[in-house]
């Protein structure tokens, strides 16, 4: 477990990042920099006992433990300092860090930022080259506190993720926070590149509302271009069928289909021994299958129930039909890939674990003769 041998960990080894943000979005950005080798100092509010997510614990967790699993998920590789920025001594110590820092990550409401000395105008007087990244909730209402589930509701996600209008559902992770974190990472990296070239600092701001809207991609265009308002669709895809259909197998286990072409559909029917379904005019094209997807699901279901899931998945994969097991969390994190991505760290005497936040790998080629470079990435 860990990042030993990862070339990415040396890229930002001379970069100092300060993080006063709490909860998920801002700390996820800080962890990105920590994974890439930066020194990350997380400044937590001493008055409130630190980042609030320290207390967001499952019933299975020890109430007396210094950190929670939630807190641990986005706080790898950081130095933790409790400070009260409304006290002169702590403010002076923090300002000394700002003067040395390359990046600062904040997410405070304007009225709180003013009390804590975190307004961009003041920070620029301390360090003109500082790259300051800030996450706010709403671009047109900066004083409104933002919460992921509320943003999921207001930007259309919850209207699509349930199974019907009476059973709405939220995404099971704070996806809006994660989208905002990715956007802020990108903005900060561009600002650091600009600073390296010009010596100029920057203020980079991302709102949760705008980040959420970027994530609507094809669903947004479906409405913007055709007037189609997506309703609750569970696992289904509005444009493709059978894509997202869940089949139950003979052993009671479930798999999901991702059939995106007519050829794949014909192969699916071959595997399930459904020649009549393959030749039916109702399912001749993807558009036909989307229109008749309820009938199609009825045709596919009994055929899938004749097979145990491992055998059916093996046959589908051999035939080139995209499908996958519906895995539980323990199954998903038990794979070799997930185990390689698991990071372990002791925080305040407690063993903590999380999945790494960066999924990219980089290979850096030496200057000079291209023949000196590795034959392929990762070698």
- CB neighbour list of residue 110: distance below 8 Å, 6 or more residues apart: 119, 142, 143
User: Which residue out of 102, 148, 177, 299 is catalytically annotated?
Assistant: 177
Mode of pairing for the β-strands spanning 342-347 and 350-355: antiparallel
How far apart, in Å, are the Cα atoms of 238 and each of 3, 133, 290, 325?
Answer: 40, 36, 7, 21
Rounded Cα distance between 254 and 247, Å, is 6
3-state secondary structure of 60: coil
How far apart, in Å, are the Cα atoms of 191 and each of 102, 187, 200, 204, 205?
Answer: 10, 6, 9, 8, 11
Instruction: Give the sign of the dihedral formed by CA 84, CA 188, CA 213, CA 173.
Output: negative
Our answer to whether residue 102 is catalytic in this structure is no
**What phi and psi values does residue 203 have, to the nearest 5 degrees?**
-120, 120
Q: H or E segment at 199?
A: none
Question: Listing from the earlier edge strand, what are the strands of the sheet with 39-45?
Answer: 78-83, 39-45, 16-19, 103-106, 131-136, 202-207
Q: H or E segment at 264?
A: helix 262-271
**Residue spans of beta strands (DSSP E) within the chain:** 16-19, 39-45, 78-83, 103-106, 131-136, 202-207, 243-248, 254-258, 323-325, 342-347, 350-355
Q: Which residues are catalytic?
A: 177
């Amino acid at each position: 477990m860990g990042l030993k041998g990862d070339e990415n960990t040396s890229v930002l080894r001379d970069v100092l990042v300060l993080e006063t943000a709490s909860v998920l979005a801002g700390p996820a950005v800080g962890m990105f920099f920590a994974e890439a080798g930066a020194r990350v100092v997380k400044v937590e509010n001493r008055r409130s006992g630190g980042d609030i997510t320290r207390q967001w614990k499952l019933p299975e967790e020890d109430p007396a433990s210094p950190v929670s699993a939630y807190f641990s998920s986005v706080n790898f590789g950081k130095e933790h300092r409790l400070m009260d920025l409304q006290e002169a001594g702590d403010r002076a110590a923090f300002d000394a860090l700002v003067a040395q820092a390359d990046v600062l990550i904040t997410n405070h409401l304007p009225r709180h930022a003013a009390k804590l000395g975190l307004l961009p105008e003041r920070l620029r007087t301390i360090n003109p080259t500082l790259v300051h990244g800030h996450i706010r909730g709403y671009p047109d209402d900066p004083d409104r506190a933002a919460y992921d589930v509320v943003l999921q509701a207001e930007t259309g996600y919850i209207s699509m993720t349930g199974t019907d209008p009476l059973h709405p559902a939220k995404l099971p992770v704070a996806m809006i926070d994660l989208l905002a974190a990715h956007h802020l990472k990108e903005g900060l990296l561009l600002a650091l590149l600009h600073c390296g070239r010009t010596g100029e600092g920057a203020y980079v701001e991302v709102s949760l509302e705008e980040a959420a809207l970027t994530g609507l991609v094809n669903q947004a265009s479906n409405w913007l271009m055709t007037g189609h308002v997506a309703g609750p669709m569970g696992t289904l895809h509005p444009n493709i069928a059978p894509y997202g259909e869940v089949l139950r197998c003979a052993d009671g286990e479930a798999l999901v289909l991702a059939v995106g072409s007519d050829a794949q559909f014909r192969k699916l029917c071959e595997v399930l021994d459904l020649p009549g379904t393959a030749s039916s005019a109702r399912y001749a094209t993807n558009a036909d299958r989307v229109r008749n997807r309820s009938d199609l699901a009825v045709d596919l279901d009994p055929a899938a129930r004749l097979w145990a899931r491992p055998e059916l998945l093996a046959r589908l994969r051999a035939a080139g039909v995209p499908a996958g097991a519906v895995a539980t969390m323990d199954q998903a994190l038990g794979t070799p890939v997930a185990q390689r991505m698991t990071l372990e760290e002791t925080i305040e005497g407690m063993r903590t674990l999380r999945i790494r936040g960066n999924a990219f790998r980089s290979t850096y080629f030496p200057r000079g003769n291209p023949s000196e470079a590795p034959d392929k990435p990762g070698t």
